[in-house]
Chains A and B, each alone.
Chain A
Amino acid sequence: MSASRLAKLIRSRKISATEAVRLYIARIESVNPKINAVVATCFERALLEAQLADAALSRGSNVGPLHGVPMTIKDSFDTRGVVSTAGTLGRRDFVPAKDATVVARVRAAGAILLGKTNTPEFTLGGGWKGTHNLVYGLTRNPYDPRYQAGASSGGSAANVAAGGAAFDIGSDYGGSLRVPATVNGVVTLKPTYGRTPRTGHIIGYGGPFDSFQQTGPLTRWVEDLALLMPILCGPDDTDCAMAPVPFGDPAAVDLSKLRVAYAIPEDGAPEVKAALLDCVKSFEELGCSVREDAPPKVKELSAARSAFTAGPGPDWMQRLLAANGTKQASPGLWYGGEETSCADFTRACEEMDALKSEQLAWIQGYDLFICAASARGGALPVDDGELERARSQMDRPSRSLSFTGNFNTNGWPAGVVRAGVTSAHPELPFGVQAVAQPWRDDVVIAALAHIERMTGGYVPPRLPA
């Protein structure tokens, strides 16, 4: 069930927090050996917190909106008292003294932490293997463990899809919430840059690449985004990039008035194209104006970002490794590029920003942009040989634009909801992406809710119960 429904049942004492926590622990214990999504657990503390939560309810105390709701958290976030490795060997035994801001906020709202979910090293190290690191190994897809879970919030998405948590919180630097949500058939929102603090995340606030990184929830149902986002949002005393923009109520969005643009990936999977057209049609039926159109200069912005991030050469990643005491790094770890001159670096920044401005002028004409989260659709295989074949297909020059990293670079809100299954493998889900103007996360959530009503949304995987 959804986190919202579970929270209501706990609050009305139809189910106890202890029962909920026990159920989710049992589910993790049964499915996790197959998918390796949850990599550290704190079950005893969770049960203790659940008992306290139940006691508070029987005393009639005021409780938060997530009272007693079991969750997991991506391992790139600090969790007080629970090992937080971020997939890097140097942090193998690191037990934070403090929760990351978003973790502290959901815990203060009553959520109970069951454990940590797998991430590639620093959320950047999985390469073609997806969610893989040298500390905990590979996370697999609950719809078919022969497939990957996507990256980098792969452990989060796989565990939520498998029913091992009511929700999880992940991070997204180039698609890291949206790709796993797509291939695990769950829901996510990468909020507008400036909404959710990154304090206590292993790539936290600061530096030239700061604005690419956003944190957000992974859930089974869209209604949970509306529950969680107001809890996660707002400035803290560390992340200087936050702005206290009020969070709009998705229920107040008038879907029939939206100006919708959409893009169909030219050489995308047929089922992805069909699902996108279905979405567009359903918005048209609501009364929306719809038009095939896409943000300008998507490829140019991607190139400018690459030139910008390449700037410092390997120094940036080497410092991250050194700061965390990691001597052996993942083979797939991203190191940037060849160091450029400082003048080229500052110019790349100017070019990137000019393109962001052009895209911003474009979205002024629309309220919603519907596109693929991944033109390919479903998950990549785990098997090396099959992965190699899939890769060689993907390495061919594509006529389709990629719409994941673009919305990290410009910081717009973008969410994903399940839209169907792949034709090659009818167990494997894929999702579609809804994007809105900056700060209009409410519009994204309202659009995802509409798509969910149309497609049915989340479908449980057929893993052993």
Chain B
Amino acid sequence: MSSPESASSEGRRNFLRRIGGLAVGTAGSVGASPAAPSRDTTDSLVFMSATRLAGLIRARKVSAAEAVDAYIRRIESVNDRLNAVVMRAFDRARQEAIALDRRARRRDFAGVLHGVPMTVKDSFDTEGVISTGGTYGRQQYVPSQDATVVARLRRAGAILLGKTNTPEFTLGGVGGINTSSNSLYGSSHNPYDLTLTTSGSSGGAAAIVAAGGAAFDIGSDLGGSIRLPAHMNGVAGLKTTAGRVPRTGHIVGYGGVLDTWQQMGPIARRVEDLALITPVISGPDFRDAACAPVPWRDPHEIEISKLRVAYFAAAGAFRPDDATRETIRRAVGWLGETARAVTESCPVELFEALNATRSKLTMGDGWAWYQRLADKWGTKNVSGEMAQTIASTPQISTAEYVRTWDEADRIKSKLLAWMGSWDVLVCPVAKGPATPIDRIFNAARDGGSLGFPGVFNSTGWPVAVVRCGTSADGRLPIGIQVVAAPWREDICLAVAAYLEARSGGWQPPPI
């Protein structure tokens, strides 16, 4: 197990090696480069970082078959309780591992993820493996083609073990996106406390990665769906910049009025893995028309000492619990030791105004877009309360809808100008740690605000989440959001890695 101290000194050693001119990876060279150096020192195959595991497989200290077997055993031991992996592809995974090991003996590596076992959120198409997206209409749906991100990961050598649970269409289901529950597979459970939610919508993904059932997973985020589960399951996640990663083959894919809100990204135990995986899945695919070929920048080139940090622990009606505020306070303290400037700032009126446009734009057409999604996939009965919600939501006029859209974009402009004063924003993901599965947040009952995860979907800015704290009772993880300006995932990841080194980041769950 890595202690914070050893991780930190390991990080410094790596940093010194790199500024000496070694291994500065770019998106273009990643596929052909040697193994990325890892700062992780964990020995357990199923708990070490994906980066470390990839290095060991490449060095032939561990075979892909051994790794796959270890992860399969782990899934078999924990999944009865977690219900995170909802479809398995174990036989194929074992066969792929054998083939990749054969290639490794010839030193013919598929890519930076050669032999690394992964799971993928069930909202992504996976060739040959049932991909339901949590909806009845796709109960038996076996895609003939991988989603773009899945194809890219498999081409880079990753091995798919199975699919992870998501609410219907990543949005509805039972209890909305604040849980990972649907009528097909039921609820996923939090590995730190089985009575608690994994949050959603990438809840199955975050829970299984936290529990050591996969080296990493790929999630999607339309309103917090990577970040909330990463936070509540104590793992690292990256919601990429809008336009970075294609959505082709995701159940809510490219197109439509909410298109720019939907971003994809990896969920892993360690921040270094996010930096390894994201360049593999980035870049246009000639299907998703909103992707731009913006070069990927190496997080190792970021110097924390040059950064201007903004932070907030609470803002407006958003009043996180004591442990969450304390987590931010500690993170800010660590940053204060190194960063150029640390300033409390939150444009809360803009955040609240943007949140208001989000609900209007989501529901303005009376959920017609959601109904069309259900129709497209042949789902007659949508899960949970969605049918009732659809039936009871009136349409607004198109003129009003367009006015709301204009208003949202005006706010986004103001936020972009605000962000020009900072390099990074550090803030809570949610009010507190995971909540009971059967007690989903209800604004009327619980009061206050859930926070602002959706704001960064509307703006399309990149956000990393990393565990930085623990609940008051010492049991539950608390993650924080590390937000940067568009296309600056490198800053998110550098700051998240720094905070991970100081806090220890992911800790093994008791399960």
Seen from chain A, the residues whose Cβ lies within 8 Å of a Cβ on chain B are: 194, 205-208, 210, 235, 237-240, 243-246, 311-313, 315-316, 319, 339-347, 349-350, 353-354, 356-357, 360-361, 363-364, 410-411, 438-439
Chain A contacts for B398, CB-based, 8 A: 311-313, 339-342, 344-345
B351-378 vs A, CB cutoff 8 Å, 1 = contact: the mask equals 0000000000000111011001000000
Contact B292 A439 (CB under 8 A): yes
Extra 7 A-B pairs, beta carbons < 8 Å, given A207-B405, A349-B257, A360-B289: A243-B487, A312-B403, A319-B403, A340-B398, A346-B365, A353-B259, A356-B255
**CA–CA, A410 and B289, complex, Å:** 8
| A213, chain B: closest CB distance, angstroms | 12
**CA–CA, A350 and B373, complex, Å:** 11
24 pairs, CB–CB < 8 Å, chain A vs chain B? A205-B413, A240-B459, A243-B486, A245-B293, A315-B399, A339-B399, A341-B365, A341-B395, A342-B364, A342-B366, A342-B368, A342-B398, A343-B368, A344-B398, A345-B257, A345-B402, A346-B257, A347-B372, A350-B256, A357-B255, A360-B286, A361-B286, A410-B289, A438-B289
| A412, chain B: closest CB distance, angstroms | 10
B369 interface neighbour in A245, A315, A350, A361, Cβ under 8 Å: A350
Chain B contacts for A360, CB-based, 8 A: 286-287, 289
Contact B402 A207 (CB under 8 A): yes
Contact B459 A237 (CB under 8 A): no
Would you call B401 an interface residue if the criterion is a C-beta within 8 Å of the partner chain's C-beta atoms?
yes
Would you call B294 an interface residue if the criterion is a C-beta within 8 Å of the partner chain's C-beta atoms?
yes
Q: A342-B401, A343-B365, A353-B254 are in contact. Are A243 and B459 (CB under 8 A)?
A: no
Chain A contacts for B395, CB-based, 8 A: 341-343
Give the top 4 A-B pairs by smallest Cβ distance, nearest first: A353-B255, A206-B409, A343-B368, A315-B399
Interface SS of chain B: loop
Q: A341-B395, A343-B395 are in contact. Are A364 and B409 (CB under 8 A)?
A: no
A206 interface neighbour in B364, B410, B486, Cβ under 8 Å: B410
Chain B contacts for A363, CB-based, 8 A: 286
Contact A240 B413 (CB under 8 A): yes
Would you call B200 an interface residue if the criterion is a C-beta within 8 Å of the partner chain's C-beta atoms?
no
Chain A contacts for B289, CB-based, 8 A: 353, 356-357, 360, 410-411, 438
| B498, chain A: closest CB distance, angstroms | 24
Contact A312 B401 (CB under 8 A): yes
**CA–CA, A259 and B368, complex, Å:** 41
Would you call B397 an interface residue if the criterion is a C-beta within 8 Å of the partner chain's C-beta atoms?
yes
**CA–CA, A445 and B368, complex, Å:** 43
| A422, chain B: closest CB distance, angstroms | 36
Residue of B nearest to A199 (CB): B413
Q: A312-B398, A313-B399, A341-B395 are in contact. Are A240 and B409 (CB under 8 A)?
A: yes
Q: A207-B405, A319-B403 are in contact. Are A342 and B413 (CB under 8 A)?
A: no
**CA–CA, A63 and B259, complex, Å:** 43
Chain A contacts for B286, CB-based, 8 A: 360-361, 363-364
B288 interface neighbour in A237, A344, A357, Cβ under 8 Å: A357
**CA–CA, A343 and B366, complex, Å:** 7
| A296, chain B: closest CB distance, angstroms | 14
A207 interface neighbour in B254, B295, B409, B420, Cβ under 8 Å: B409
Chain B contacts for A243, CB-based, 8 A: 243, 292, 294, 486-487
Q: A206-B410, A207-B409, A346-B365 are in contact. Are A315 and B403 (CB under 8 A)?
A: yes
Residue of B nearest to A343 (CB): B368
Would you call B284 an interface residue if the criterion is a C-beta within 8 Å of the partner chain's C-beta atoms?
yes
**CA–CA, A208 and B256, complex, Å:** 10
**CA–CA, A340 and B368, complex, Å:** 14
| B301, chain A: closest CB distance, angstroms | 16
**CA–CA, A240 and B487, complex, Å:** 12
Would you call B194 an interface residue if the criterion is a C-beta within 8 Å of the partner chain's C-beta atoms?
no
Would you call B460 an interface residue if the criterion is a C-beta within 8 Å of the partner chain's C-beta atoms?
yes
| A364, chain B: closest CB distance, angstroms | 4
Would you call B22 an interface residue if the criterion is a C-beta within 8 Å of the partner chain's C-beta atoms?
no
Contact B486 A235 (CB under 8 A): yes
| A411, chain B: closest CB distance, angstroms | 8
Chain A contacts for B420, CB-based, 8 A: 237
**CA–CA, A345 and B403, complex, Å:** 13
Q: A237-B416, A356-B289, A357-B255 are in contact. Are A312 and B409 (CB under 8 A)?
A: no
Would you call B406 an interface residue if the criterion is a C-beta within 8 Å of the partner chain's C-beta atoms?
yes
Would you call B412 an interface residue if the criterion is a C-beta within 8 Å of the partner chain's C-beta atoms?
yes
Segment 374-416 of B: residues with Cβ below 8 Å from A:
395-399, 401-403, 405-406, 409-410, 412-413, 416
Contact B364 A244 (CB under 8 A): no
Contact A208 B402 (CB under 8 A): yes
Chain B contacts for A439, CB-based, 8 A: 292-293
Residue of B nearest to A356 (CB): B289
Residue of A nearest to B372 (CB): A347
Contact B399 A312 (CB under 8 A): yes
**CA–CA, A340 and B259, complex, Å:** 21
**CA–CA, A369 and B395, complex, Å:** 42
| B412, chain A: closest CB distance, angstroms | 5
Chain B contacts for A343, CB-based, 8 A: 365-366, 368, 395
Residue of B nearest to A208 (CB): B405
Chain B contacts for A237, CB-based, 8 A: 416-417, 420
Chain A contacts for B256, CB-based, 8 A: 346, 349-350, 353
Contact B294 A244 (CB under 8 A): yes
Contact B460 A357 (CB under 8 A): no
**CA–CA, A210 and B402, complex, Å:** 11
**CA–CA, A354 and B290, complex, Å:** 12
B414-428 vs A, CB cutoff 8 Å, 1 = contact: the mask equals 001100100000000
A345 interface neighbour in B259, B365, B372, Cβ under 8 Å: B365
Chain A contacts for B284, CB-based, 8 A: 438
**CA–CA, A363 and B295, complex, Å:** 21
Chain B contacts for A340, CB-based, 8 A: 398
Residue of A nearest to B401 (CB): A342
Chain A contacts for B295, CB-based, 8 A: 246
Chain B contacts for A347, CB-based, 8 A: 368-369, 372
Residue of A nearest to B287 (CB): A357
Contact A239 B413 (CB under 8 A): yes
Q: A238-B413, A240-B416 are in contact. Are A350 and B372 (CB under 8 A)?
A: yes
B95-110 vs A, CB cutoff 8 Å, 1 = contact: the mask equals 0000000000000000
| A78, chain B: closest CB distance, angstroms | 15
